[in-house]
A and B are shown apart, each in its own frame.
Chain A
Amino acid sequence: MGILTILIFLPLVFGVVILLMPKSLTAYFKYLTVAVSLAQLIIASWLFYQFKTGVNFAGVSNLSQYQWIEKLDWIRLDVGSFGTLQIDYLLGVDGFSIGLVWLSALVMLIAALSSWEIKTNLKGYFALFLLLDTAIIGVFCSLDLFLFYIFYELMLLPLYFLIGMWGGVRREYAAIKFFLYTLFGSIFMLLVIAGLYLSVTDPTTGNHTFNMVYAMNPANYSAGFILSAAANVQILGFSARSISFIVVFIAFAIKVPVFPFHTWLPDAHVEAPTPISIILAGILLKVGGYGIIRIAYGIFPEVAVSLSFWMGLLGVISIIYGAMNALAQRDLKRLIAYSSVSHMGFVLLGIASLTAEGLNGAMMQMISHGFLSVMLFFIVGVIYNRVHDRDIYNFRGLANQMPVFTGFVMIAFFASLGLPGFSAFIAEAFTLIGAFSSQAINGLLPRWMAMVAAFGILLGAGYLLWTLQRMFFGTLRLKKEEWQSQLKDLNFREILTLTPLAVLALVLGIMPSLVFNVMSSSVNQFLMLFK
């Protein structure tokens, strides 16, 4: 049994353990969950530390260059003249996934630590939580499309219940909206996965295969099958590969989310309990970005190149549109949800630029936004848990009331608005540099896109500073008298949660090479697909 399998299924095992534990031990569920997440983070950190970099470990379209590969024959079904149905249990990580695996482990630990606020039906909550954990790590590690799809759908189920049962007032609406929206995207993706299966053969066994690494290599396509580039199959007058790309892109764009597929996000975030908001913002959105890179761009590179302008445009629109919407919010959590739309727009813009700078920037942005959004949602949770209100206008002058908290808020806000020294600045700057130089390097994105996107940073400063001024500065004024006694400064657990995030944002801002070194050879290899 490989290390990745342990990493993936460790939470599941303990989820079952929690289900089997008697009611009298309810109080220990959260400690067990934190322990499991911590163990997972330790394993993930060890993987990150041991991860070998360099040209020979680039991965991407070269299966042998992936690390910690685990391959088991899972389903072998003889389908007569059609050969053998081959579904593998295939795991492995490369430069694109290792960072996200580590991020997921970290975010799950933070989410577990912030699960203290959950008071009802703890057994169900933590069991679902650990199931979700398994699914998330599984998504980033699986290299077989079928396995990927299973983990991908497996994420939805616990999330649906976690939002729908432990959420806010309109939780059922939000949960069903989230579930249907994402499912809508992914079912069409299943068709494409089936199409890929029919077109791709395993060069070693000659069977049709779901292997996504083989699908990136045009040599593995059997000529004449639907998604083979040579066959040029037309569906309703469009090339089958273009349609497939768009379908897969939409499936992941919903997850990212990209304008105009973003509206599930504010509702889901606002209604979800804090730990689930953290998971949603910290990891779920990254699954979208990861999928766009690995599947949409990796498997359909020529379509991606031809549609790059539109991808970039969507990215720019998301940046500006999300920021403008954030500016209009009164609800702090909704504001942060919209700011996520804006920040994730940079990811799409960076990917669309198809330059080394842009892609590195996009990956960096995913990781950086990973813990910054976690921090922001945790901050909202701190206020909400104390007084059950999130309206910006109901608070003023919190800086005197909660000085330590305000310190962390300032770190989180200034890091998110791209203050140099924090990771978001490096990420956004590199994304913009990539988008700008794209015109000169490959001619995909016009220069004005980067210039317009830069104004997203300005708007980001606008809404965050405005919030800071309205909520934290000035003389203390709260909506209700009793809030003053309820709004206590951070306790030890909360400081313990926020500190590593703040430190990480700072460390990656000063030493971005920690992440860039791991990714860069994979990014270079990835860009070779588009040559």
Chain B
Amino acid sequence: MEQFLNPYQLFLIAILAITAPFLAFILSLIFKKIAAALGILSISISLISSVILFLHLWKKQTLHYSFQWIHIGNVKIDVGILLNDLSVIMLVLISLIALLVHIYSVEYMRKEILKYRYFAYLSLFCFAMMCVVMADNFFILYAFWELVGFSSYLLIGFWFTKEKAVQANKKAMIMNRIGDIGFLIGIMIMLSQFHTLDIDALFGSGSLIDSSFVQNGLWVTPFSTMPGYWLSIAGFCFFAGAIAKSAQFPLHTWLPDAMEGPTAVSSLIHAATMVAAGVFLLLRIAPLFNDVVLVSMASIGLFTAFMAASIALTQNDIKKVLAFSTISQLGFMVLAVGVQDNAAAVFHLITHAFFKCLLFLGAGIVIHQLHHIKEKSNVDFDEQNMDNMGGLRKLMPITGIVFFIAAMALSGLPFTSGYLSKDAILVSVFEWADLRGGIFWLFPFVVSITSWLTTFYIFRVVYKVFFGKLRLEKVIAKTKEQMHIHDPNYWMTVPVIILAVFCFGVFFAYNPLNLDSSWVYHGFNLQQHNEGIYHLMVPLYINVMSLALIFLAHLIYAKKKISINFEQTWYYKLSYNQWYFNAFYDVFLMKMVLFKAQTFYWFDRNIIDGAVNFSGIFILRISKTADWFDRNIIDGLVNGSAWLVSRLGLWLRGMLSGKLQHYFIWMLILFLSFMIFKIVI
């Protein structure tokens, strides 16, 4: 394509893309009536700008503009935008999905009184998220990273009178903060080592990270030197930030709780975009990671993928299943970064965004319908519980079909986008294990199992919700004709259909069965892919097994031909209780921190302040003693001598009888005694 616009104009377009949602955020809070329209308008502008940027920059050039912001000492922090291939594709992805979710939300939130806030927050999120992908240095990236978390906090707690929702948003914010501390420490390490936070300077071509090396246990850069383990620490710190944002073990428990927010929000933020920011961060700074960090990353990704998939198997809340599915899929992406197949990670990030968003929106439609029934029937039931659903395929066919397509994509069946991206990851894991051998063969083994678990749990959802009989009839004692369950209007169906279209592989590859024909994958995979046995074998054996599992799920959940009773087994309980992480965190860790806090406070009141008060009391006591001493001893001496003198005086006075002759006798006695005294001495 020809270059119609020069870089400066592109820069202005990029600014437009982020300013539009920001203005929408401000204006929505002022003009409450037209908030939804403002949100859709702004994100449409962003989408158009993003597409223009994408067409101009993809595989062509990198746009980097920065302006002086803070200069202190050695630290120069600028504010600017950096648009490379990764950024532009993320921009298009974010704005496209955000636009669809905005449209969907118009209907979904129609009855909310405070919906202007909802759209304002959503615009704030879009602004922050697009800034995250555009940020040209860590400081700005961190700032918007937190702002994304903040807007997520606002949206999870949108129904702020719901106790569970506000518990959830607090939990999300604090868990994200734990990771952010890591991120911040990582920033400090980078700044201390390289004296710059500019991502392009650090990781771009001819980057600073390449000119640094570890030698003799020291990490040497052109500016500074640190002990070598700081390189690993830096890696782990950034990784910690990604762990929290992308809900990886051990900081994953906030994401299932975050499902308390509106479903549209769950779909945009907690499935498609924000949670992917962690993976995005890992991709941006991938050259930093050394082998230790990469292996830990792969291990954590693998473990999270497996754990979350195993939990998703038994959850009855439809959104919970999808939440754990998201965690699991994010685990796949982290695993891909860990095995250094960044292209597969990006690819999966993008395809996952579409089909997971669709799954959530589909679930949202079902929940929305059931919620209406709940309001009309005045019977209290859980509209998110799959035990109340079933057979909806016939009542809401569009929803059923798009959900089915998304489930196929998630399972990675052929002709879907998931087939390409997930198999790319699987192949990489096999090759990686092959290269390393030994214990590393555990990785492809577990990842295959996880992949099959994925297929099974998502089709469990499909069959439980859309096939079989409508179990809700029993719950509220009404026939389905009375309930008026139907597909929603265009506000909701159009976005899900668009998303469903994007679940097909043809959009991402010329030949939807061949990964190597994928333009997204090739956009990031610079080295030539070696054609190995795994490219053929892995997709084959995974998909054959998957089809078998789908059939099994069909038999169990749709036809009820097979009934298995394992609800009393320990592994069922482990899975159903989400591996007891919440119990551990909430009961144990929270209690411990609060107990510590109480202890500190006790210490402060009694020891520190006690010392102050004690010194106060002690001084008072001393002064009391001094007072006693003064009154009794010192003043006592004074008074005592006076008393003595007066006594003596009185006694002597007694001698003065007034009789003249007595005086003479006294004189005589004194004189004589004086003489006797003189003589004796």
Contact = CB atoms under 8 A, between A and B. Distances in A.
Q: Bound pair: A and B?
A: yes
Interface of A: 177, 180-181, 259-260, 262-264, 321, 324-325, 327-329, 355-357, 360, 397, 399-400, 414, 419-421, 425-426, 429-430, 432-433, 436-437, 439-441, 447, 450-451, 454-455, 457-458, 461-462, 465-466, 468-469, 472-475, 512-513, 516, 520, 523-524
A513 B75 CA distance: 13
**The 9 nearest A-B residue pairs measured at CB:** A356-B73, A420-B143, A328-B601, A327-B597, A473-B166, A436-B188, A263-B609, A324-B600, A328-B597
Contacts of B74: 356-357, 437, 441
B114 to A, nearest CB: 9
Contacts of B170: 465-466, 468-469
Interface residues of B, number: 54
B177 A457 contact: yes
7 contacts: A328-B598, A360-B73, A399-B161, A420-B142, A425-B146, A451-B185, A512-B70
Interface string B203-226: 000000000000000000000111
Nearest to A430: B72
Given A454-B184, A474-B161, 19 more contacts: A177-B616, A260-B611, A264-B612, A324-B600, A325-B597, A325-B600, A328-B598, A328-B600, A420-B146, A433-B75, A433-B191, A433-B192, A437-B74, A450-B185, A450-B188, A461-B177, A466-B170, A473-B161, A474-B160
A95 B546 CA distance: 69
Contacts of B150: 414, 419
B199 interface: no
Contact of A440 (B187, B192, B601, B608): B192
B69 interface: yes
Contacts of B188: 432-433, 436-437, 450
A16 B174 CA distance: 52
Nearest to A511: B69
Contacts of B193: 440
Interface string B495-527: 000000000000000000000000000000000
A513 B160 contact: no
Interface string B142-168: 111011001000000100111101110
A417 to B, nearest CB: 8
A461 B604 contact: no
Contacts of A451: 185
A454 B74 CA distance: 21
Contact of B146 (A325, A419, A523): A419
B608 A462 contact: no
A321 B609 CA distance: 14
B480 interface: no
Nearest to A429: B184
Q: Most chain-B Cβ atoms within 10 A of its Cβ — which of A397, A455, A473, A520? A: A473
Q: Most chain-A Cβ atoms within 10 A of its Cβ — which of B157, B187, B188, B593? A: B188
Contacts of A475: 161, 163
Given A325-B597, A360-B72, A440 B224 contact: yes
B173 interface: yes
A241 B590 CA distance: 47
Given A356-B72, A397-B161, A474-B166, A455 B143 contact: no
B190 to A, nearest CB: 10
B178 interface: yes
Contacts of A447: 230
A512 B143 CA distance: 14
Contacts, number: 142
A523 B73 CA distance: 9
Contact of A513 (B69, B165, B600, B616): B69
Contacts of B617: none
B478 interface: no
A350 to B, nearest CB: 12
Nearest to B139: A429
Contacts of B160: 399, 472-474
A474 B166 CA distance: 7
B520 to A, nearest CB: 31
B536 interface: no
Q: Most chain-A Cβ atoms within 10 A of its Cβ — which of B75, B139, B596? A: B75
Nearest to B225: A440
- Name the prevailing secondary structure of the B interface residues: helix
A524 B609 CA distance: 38
A461 B174 CA distance: 6
Contacts of A400: 161
B74 to A, nearest CB: 7
B604 A474 contact: no
Contacts of B75: 356-357, 430, 433
A462 B593 contact: yes
B167 A469 contact: yes
A421 B143 contact: yes
Nearest to B165: A473
A441 to B, nearest CB: 8
A458 B175 CA distance: 9
A425 B600 contact: no
B594 interface: yes
A458 B177 contact: yes
Nearest to A454: B181
A259 B600 CA distance: 12
B596 A177 contact: no
A436 B189 contact: yes
A436 B192 contact: yes
Contacts of A399: 160-161
Interface string B587-627: 00000011011101100100011011000100000000000
Nearest to B183: A454
Contacts of A457: 177, 181, 184
Nearest to B68: A513
Contact of A324 (B143, B192, B224, B596): B596
A437 B191 contact: yes
Contact of B147 (A327, A419, A429, A462): A419
A351 to B, nearest CB: 15
A370 B600 CA distance: 26
A462 B192 contact: no
Contacts of B230: 447
Contacts of B147: 419-421
B68 to A, nearest CB: 8
A222 B143 CA distance: 52
B612 A458 contact: no
B601 to A, nearest CB: 4
A475 B159 CA distance: 10
A437 B608 CA distance: 32
B365 to A, nearest CB: 28
A432 B467 CA distance: 57
Nearest to B179: A458
Q: Most chain-B Cβ atoms within 10 A of its Cβ — which of A468, A469, A513? A: A469
A132 B355 CA distance: 65
Contacts of A474: 160-163, 166
Contacts of B177: 457-458, 461
A95 to B, nearest CB: 12
Contacts of B144: 420
Contacts of A439: 192
A439 B597 CA distance: 31
Interface in B451-497: none
A192 B162 CA distance: 59
B72 A520 contact: yes
A329 B189 CA distance: 34
A316 to B, nearest CB: 14
Contact of A437 (B143, B169, B192): B192
Given A432-B188, A458-B178, A469 B166 contact: yes
A177 B594 CA distance: 29
A327 B593 contact: yes
Nearest to B182: A454
A177 B160 CA distance: 42
A420 B137 CA distance: 14
Contacts of A328: 594, 597-598, 600-601
Contact of B173 (A325, A461, A472, A516): A461
